Homo-oligomer: A and B are copies of this chain.
Amino acid sequence: MLTLRKPYLVYLGDATVKSDCKTGFGLRDWCRSDVLAEWSHPDGTVTLGLERLSPAAAAARGAGSLIVGVAPMGGTLAQHWVADLEAALEAGLDVVSGMHTRLGTFPRLAAAAAKHGVRLVDVRHTGERYPVASGRKRSGMRVLTVGTDCALGKKYTALALTRALQERGAEATFRATGQTGIMIAGSGIPMDAVVADFLAGAAEQLTPDNAPGHWDVVEGQGSLLHPAYASVTLGLLHGSQPDAIVLCHDPERREIEDCPGYAIPPLAQVIDLYLRTGRLTNPKIRCVGLSINSSSLDEGAWRDYRARLERELALPVCDPMRGGVAALAHALLGR
């Protein structure tokens, strides 16, 4: 499994728009105690509101990694950031990126990392080998966030649910499966980068045997309804063997994004699809509730929508951004 050196110095490049720094804000919001400070290029204007430290100053204060917390258009690393990243390597920090361009393709960075004995970590890629899945039942409990589509709150829901479980005194671990999640958790497996044969095996590694009352809260990926990504979703579902799922949905989404004609069916059917499919590796799988991204609904519309769904599905319906996920934690723990 990928493991990162904390605490972090978060790098915001030359960003002038907050939305380009989603990763940086996510780190500040979800692992604040692991974020030592922020740093940016002189042309950058975005700030997380944290102390500014140069790579050398951050290293002197104990930082382990500089994290690229900005995602430029196209997902490629800007040439003029390279000097800043090189400075971090020279200061003894690992450099961690979630971009498509591998850090090692910049000869200056590859040379500096080798010279100073530090790592270039591309959390979007994995060179690791995973075993073939065994399908063997493991001890401990697991909950997986699943979705009607990509990018509608599976990571956010898993993070919020981990907190809610911990607040109720339960042992819970967030298990990261995508780049930002891995940065937040400090470890994880980028599922969509794993070679197909080893996908379910990687998910088994991610969620190993654990204490009977312990919950792994697994960040979902993709959707079984997605014509390109369903196999990633399936490998994660089969390998993580969830005892429970939470279905994530955005009521604005009528079709799979960028896939015209791929309509999202009624949610009862979607839940049924996930449960039928998940039963292969865990016959006891159940759906404990829904997590809705309700940002498109005003307060009244959200109240009506939630009441209707709860009545139709006989399950708790939450929005982590609007009232939290206590009902989901309660459904998992029975307390």
Contact = CB atoms under 8 A, between A and B. Distances in A.
Interface of A: 132-135, 191-197, 199-201, 225, 227-232, 234-235, 238-239, 256, 259, 261-262, 280-281
Nearest to A231: B235
A11 to B, nearest CB: 26
A229 B229 CA distance: 15
A235 B230 CA distance: 7
B196 A228 contact: no
Contacts of A280: 225, 227, 230, 262
A188 to B, nearest CB: 15
Contact of A230 (B200, B225, B259): B200
Given A135-B259, A196-B191, A259-B135, A231 B231 contact: yes
Number of copies of this kind of chain in the complex: 2
Contacts of A132: 228-229
Enumerate the 9 nearest inter-chain pairs by beta-carbon distance, A residue then B residue, closest first. A135-B227, A231-B235, A133-B228, A192-B197, A231-B231, A231-B234, A196-B232, A199-B231, A132-B228
A294 to B, nearest CB: 27
11 contacts: A132-B229, A134-B259, A135-B228, A193-B195, A195-B195, A196-B235, A200-B228, A200-B230, A227-B281, A231-B232, A231-B238
Given A200-B229, A200-B230, A201-B228, 16 more contacts: A134-B227, A134-B259, A135-B228, A135-B256, A192-B195, A192-B196, A193-B195, A195-B196, A197-B228, A200-B228, A227-B239, A227-B281, A228-B238, A230-B238, A230-B280, A231-B238
A234 B222 CA distance: 14
Contact of A193 (B133, B196, B262): B196
A197 B234 contact: no
A196 B261 CA distance: 23
Contact of A199 (B134, B196, B239, B281): B196
A133 B226 CA distance: 10
Given A225-B280, A280-B225, A231 B200 contact: yes
